[in-house]
Amino acid sequence: MTAKQKYIYVRGKKIYVSNEIYKAYKKQLNHEAYLKRLDKKYGVFHFGEYHSNISDVVDKNIDIEKIIETKMRIEDLYRALEKLNDEERSVIKSIYFNEKTLVELAKQNHTNPMKISRTRDKILKKLRQLLDK
């Protein structure tokens, strides 16, 4: 073997290889190192490298119970909205879903904002009662 001959390690053994094989091997190693740098840069973790319990992956900042409770309250709210008459539902939809101001709604209904405000308050009180049942 000459001093310039290339070798690689396979399962801990030194194996002499041709220049072409050595270049292909090094090219592959460099490519793998490049991909690992990209993974590290972008925070990519592979499950095969993660030797831990799945519960360690859970985001402790997310309160699942609170999310479920909120979704259930939203469903209750939509059921309560269905129990309103068309005029009441229209006022709530305009203010809270279409984000109209009391002034805009008053102009649309040819009335004053104070009347719209009182109507809104009565509807919200009714909704609270429906939700408390």
Model confidence at 58, pLDDT cuts 50, 70, 90, reads low
Model confidence at 124, pLDDT cuts 50, 70, 90, reads very high
pLDDT, tens digit, 9 for 90 and up, residues 7-16 = 898 889 999 9
Mean pLDDT (whole number) for 101-120: 94
pLDDT, tens digit, 9 for 90 and up, residues 78-99 = 999 999 999 999 999 999 999 9
Cβ neighbours of 119 (radius 10 Å):
19
Helix, strand, coil tally for the chain in percent (to 5)? 65, 10, 25
**Separation CA 24–CA 118 (nearest Å):** 79
Q: What is the reported pTM?
A: 0.52
**Separation CA 70–CA 76 (nearest Å):** 10
Does the pLDDT value for residue 33 go beyond 60? Answer: yes
